[in-house]
């Protein structure tokens, strides 16, 4: 009788990255050029996120239940010169912030998504709707006929403030990283990752709340007692929705269901920042083009000079910015992966080491078709 030998399991295609993480490294190689690129682009990104965050929170608190918010991008400062700059597009492209907000809301996940479907939220939303339209019988009648319409508008407003509060933390994190780099404290990619990870952990339990004011009375739509927090209820859903899943860009794939170019299963979407091909950046209908356009205005000189010395100079500046941005997002992803590790990296327990490796393998399964290997070349 011949006994068949069991085949040893094949190594994971991204096994080198698992080993690198277990040995204190990051998904992005550690070299001075990468450090300069990542810190420089995160400096620019931090400035842009600061503006995005303030506007999203302003919209949530001041433009809720407004059907035609013509001046929502003005943060309450409306004047003719600013209006001219707005029409001339000499401004921050807040539309990209809304694109990310809609992606988060569509994909869902986390405590914010769950809370917005609870009877408690419905009750609080109806109280705000009643206070807003108590002297408007037509709107109150419409609310009776279509009870989910105005409530859904407040759900959207909740995502505005949720993303705005998340980006508030991230903006401060990236700007302080740049300050530390300028002071000579940040010199390696692992140090970049550690800075991001430490900031994520420090604000992990930061409450996510939402209140609006009507006629000198404050209405809590998301009170602190709900228990929503920065990391679990905004950061993790954001990474899932924007880094991994994303949304298919118009003009790059067919939305025809018979073409089968878009999976009907949202969980299988791979259109996020870690998967996107930078080359279409700059084309019409590609939302990240707006972000790259915003970041180009705030590039630190040392990074801008690197782009100027490239083969095409500034002719493909948005594409170069996108490549750098993608590298930086792999550093943020590294920080998230390490922060959620089931056991300490330096554990000596063999079962815990195995659990850590299995955990990392699951992450690598998702990253196998990403641009991880491209940014490592």
Statement: residue 336 has pLDDT above 60: yes
What residue spans define the domains of the chain? Answer: 15-70+78-375
Statement: residue 1 has pLDDT above 50: no
Is this prediction's pTM over 0.85? yes
pLDDT, mean of residues 208-225: 95
| pLDDT tier, 10 (very low <50, low <70, confident <90, very high otherwise) | low
Tell which wins on pLDDT, 222 or 147. 222
Statement: residue 2 has pLDDT above 60: no
Contact 236, 107 (CB under 8 A): no
Q: How many Cβ atoms are within 10 Å of 207's Cβ, its own excluded?
A: 15
pLDDT, mean of residues 276-283: 85
Q: By mean pLDDT, which of 78-87, 104-113, 323-332 is the weakest?
A: 78-87
Statement: residue 255 has pLDDT above 70: yes
Backbone angles phi, psi at 330, to 5 degrees: -70, -30
* CA–CA separation, 347 and 277 (whole Å): 38
Classify the C-alpha dihedral 294-300-304-306 as positive or negative. negative
| pLDDT tier, 28 (very low <50, low <70, confident <90, very high otherwise) | very high
Statement: residue 292 has pLDDT above 50: yes
Q: What is the pLDDT of residue 310?
A: 84
Contact 51, 175 (CB under 8 A): no
Q: What is the pLDDT of residue 4?
A: 45
pLDDT, mean of residues 151-173: 97
* CA–CA separation, 169 and 233 (whole Å): 14
Contact 234, 166 (CB under 8 A): yes
Q: What is the pLDDT of residue 290?
A: 93
Statement: residue 321 has pLDDT above 80: yes
pLDDT in tens, 139-161: 999 999 998 999 999 999 999 99
Statement: residue 3 has pLDDT above 80: no
Statement: residue 9 has pLDDT above 50: no
pLDDT, mean of residues 101-107: 95
Query: 6: burial class by Cβ within 10 Å (0-12, 13-18, 19+)?
Result: exposed
pLDDT, mean of residues 219-228: 96
| pLDDT tier, 265 (very low <50, low <70, confident <90, very high otherwise) | confident
Q: What is the pLDDT of residue 149?
A: 94
Rounded to the nearest 5 degrees, what angle is found at the Cα of 236, between the Cα atoms of 74 and 175? 55
- For residue 12, the Cα-to-chain-centroid distance in whole angstroms is 28
């Amino acid at each position: 009788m011949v006994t068949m030998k069991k085949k040893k399991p094949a190594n994971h295609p991204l096994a080198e990255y698992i080993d690198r993480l277990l040995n204190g490294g990051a998904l992005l190689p550690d070299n001075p050029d990468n450090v300069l690129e990542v810190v420089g682009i995160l400096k620019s990104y931090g400035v842009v996120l600061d503006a995005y965050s303030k506007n999203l929170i302003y919209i949530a608190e001041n433009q809720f239940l407004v059907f035609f918010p013509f001046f929502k991008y003005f943060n309450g400062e409306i004047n003719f010169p600013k209006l001219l700059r707005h029409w001339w597009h000499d401004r921050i492209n807040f539309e990209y912030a809304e694109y990310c907000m809609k992606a988060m809301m569509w994909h869902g996940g986390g405590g914010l998504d769950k809370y917005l479907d609870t009877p408690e939220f419905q009750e609080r939303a109806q109280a705000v709707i009643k206070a807003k339209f108590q002297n408007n019988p037509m709107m109150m009648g419409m609310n009776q006929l279509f009870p989910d319409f105005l409530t859904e508008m407040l759900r959207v407003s909740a995502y505005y403030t949720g993303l705005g509060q998340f980006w508030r933390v991230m903006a401060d994190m990236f700007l302080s990283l740049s300050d530390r780099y300028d002071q000579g404290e940040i010199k390696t990619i692992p140090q970049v990752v550690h800075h991001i990870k430490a900031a994520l952990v420090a604000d992990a339990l930061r409450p996510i709340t939402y209140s609006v004011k009507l006629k000198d009375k404050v209405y809590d739509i998301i009170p602190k007692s709900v228990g929503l927090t920065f990391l679990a209820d905004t950061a993790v859903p954001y990474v899932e929705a924007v880094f991994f899943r994303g949304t298919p860009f118009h003009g790059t794939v067919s939305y025809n269901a018979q073409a089968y170019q878009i999976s009907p299963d949202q969980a299988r979407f791979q259109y996020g920042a870690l998967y996107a091909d930078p080359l279409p950046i700059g084309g019409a209908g590609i939302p990240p083009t707006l972000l790259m356009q915003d970041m180009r205005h705030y590039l630190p000189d040392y990074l801008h000079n690197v782009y100027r010395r490239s083969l095409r100079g500034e002719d493909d500046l948005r594409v170069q910015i996108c490549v750098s941005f993608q590298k930086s997002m792999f550093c943020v992803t590294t920080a998230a992966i390490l922060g959620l590790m089931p056991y300490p990296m330096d554990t000596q327990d063999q079962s815990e080491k195995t659990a850590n490796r299995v955990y990392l393998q699951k992450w690598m399964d998702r990253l196998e078709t990403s641009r991880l290997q491209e940014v490592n070349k």
